[in-house]
């Protein structure tokens, strides 16, 4: 602001409250947001500090395979796990470059994952940290890359397992995920990290021996999950089958109606129409019996009504909207409207209960025909065989 020449107090005041103040505010805002951004980056979901990993989790002192710098494990568990891992290295061998080498499994135990700067809600970054641990500690033979690392954060019950390329054949993604899940479930249920770690190391030993039967044995939770999925699947199948059956039934009904319409004599339809028209003249109805509105086409009908008046074979009339709601779909023949008799809909007139379908449309009348046709087909098939 000093570079600008100011000629009066008023000008100075305008200036002060104008661009200079604005610039200063923007500057401050920018600085604050930058600071906030810097503050949040370390707390971001996929962040952890490799420096802290090196600093707080030194490699196990040879010949040990477990690093527990905060002495969180009981001495018994430390001894059990460490000797189990030494057994694996001695006895569970893999051939690489013509030489048999033992799998190397190392375990790191942390107070909490926040020690590495991992966010409290972040469940997956600890796996990345366990991968870096493999390189950092040099777990596995360098020719075989057959190391496995397990990183356990006790305070927030997080587990990461990583396997080098030479070990992923047995320590597959599925195996690692299952062990992690079993371990975190156990930690959450019992908070007994000694038992959880012993079990996990036993599962890793089994897996490297090619045996995952115990690991994938169904738990009560699995049974519940599969039962739920089974029920959902069965319900879905029943629903689809029911929908298909109903569609099929509707098609059959429509074909039957078509056949009926073809069979019915035009003269019969005309006779029915005359009878209905005569009855309608006697009833002399002007209102729809359902909605009680003036029927379209009668002198008192409301203007702009897009409904039609439908005459049923009994001589009663409905507006087309009410007919649709009452009967479902229908067909018009010689001036009479006949309902199709679709599933679940009534076929009787709402006023006099007369069956309003076309004569002979009742499905019961045709069951004999269908059975006869089916039997004939079966007979022909039998003859061919």
Task: List interacting residues with Zn ion (CB under 5 A).
Answer: 288, 290-291, 314, 316, 319, 322, 349, 351-352
CB of 262 to Zn ion, least distance (A): 26
Q: How far apart are the C-alpha atoms of 140 and 133, rounded to whole Å? A: 11
- Closer to Zn ion at the Cβ: 14 or 353? 353
Question: For residue 76, what are the contacts with CB-CB under 8 A and spacing of at least 6?
Answer: 194
Compute CA 22 distance to the chain's CA centroid, rounded to the nearest angstrom.
51
CA 115 from centre of chain: 35
Q: How far is the CB of 277 from Zn ion (least distance, A)?
A: 14
* Residue with smaller CB distance to Zn ion, 201 or 288: 288
Least CB distance from residue 224 to Zn ion, whole Å? 53
- Measure the CA–CA gap between 364 and 374, rounded to whole angstroms: 16
For the chain, give me the number of helices (H) and strands (E)? 11, 10
Q: Please give the structure tokens belonging to residue 312.
A: 């049923």
Please identify, using beta-carbon distances, which residue of 187 and 319 lies nearer to Zn ion: 319
* Shortest distance in whole angstroms from residue 331 CB to Zn ion: 18
Burial of 197 (0-12, 13-18, 19+ CB in 10 A): buried
Nearer to Zn ion, 334 or 351 (CB): 351
User: In whole angstroms, how close is the CB of 350 to Zn ion at the nearest point?
Assistant: 7
Closer to Zn ion by CB, 85 or 322: give it: 322
Distance CA 10, CA 16 (A): 10
Exposed/middle/buried for 5, CB within 10 Å: 0-12, 13-18, 19+? exposed
The smaller minimum CB distance to Zn ion, of residues 195 and 285, is found at: 285
Angle 154-215-202 from CA coordinates, rounded to 5°: 60
CB of 365 to Zn ion, least distance (A): 22
């Amino acid at each position: 602001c000093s570079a600008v020449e100011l000629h009066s107090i008023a000008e100075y005041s305008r200036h002060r409250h104008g661009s200079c103040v604005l610039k200063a505010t923007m500057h401050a805002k920018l600085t604050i947001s930058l600071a906030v951004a810097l503050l949040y980056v370390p707390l971001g979901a996929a962040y952890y500090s490799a420096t802290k990993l090196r600093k707080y989790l030194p490699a196990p002192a040879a010949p040990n395979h477990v690093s527990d710098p905060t002495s969180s494990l009981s001495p018994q568990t430390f001894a059990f796990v460490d000797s189990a891992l030494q057994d694996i290295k001695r006895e569970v061998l893999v051939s690489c470059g013509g030489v048999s080498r033992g799998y190397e499994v190392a375990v790191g135990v942390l107070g909490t994952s926040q020690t590495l700067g991992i966010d409290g809600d972040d469940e997956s970054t600890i796996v990345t940290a366990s991968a870096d641990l493999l390189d950092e500690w040099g777990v596995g033979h360098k020719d075989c890359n057959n190391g496995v690392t397990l990183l356990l954060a006790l305070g927030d019950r997080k587990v990461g397992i990583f396997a080098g390329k030479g070990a992923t054949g047995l320590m597959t993604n599925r195996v690692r995920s299952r062990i992690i899940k079993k371990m975190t479930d156990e930690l959450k249920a019992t908070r007994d990290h000694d038992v959880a770690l012993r079990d996990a190391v036993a599962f890793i030993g089994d897996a490297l021996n090619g045996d995952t039967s115990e690991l994938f044995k169904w738990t009560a939770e699995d049974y519940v999950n599969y039962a739920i999925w089974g029920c959902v699947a069965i319900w879905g199948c029943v629903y689809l089958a029911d929908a298909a059956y109903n569609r099929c039934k509707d098609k059959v009904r429509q074909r039957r109606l078509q056949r009926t319409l073809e069979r019915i004599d035009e003269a019969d339809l005309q006779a029915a129409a005359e009878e209905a028209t005569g009855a309608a003249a006697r009833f002399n109805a002007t209102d729809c019996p359902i909605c009680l509105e003036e029927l379209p086409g009668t002198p008192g009908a409301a203007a702009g009504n897009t409904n039609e008046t439908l005459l049923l074979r009994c001589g009663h009339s409905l507006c087309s909207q009410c007919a649709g709601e009452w009967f479902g779909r229908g067909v018009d023949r010689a001036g009479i409207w006949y309902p199709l008799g679709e599933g679940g809909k009534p076929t009787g007139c709402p006023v006099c209960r007369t069956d309003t379908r076309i004569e002979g449309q009742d499905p019961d009348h045709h069951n004999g025909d269908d059975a006869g046709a089916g039997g004939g087909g079966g007979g022909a098939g039998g003859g061919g065989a």
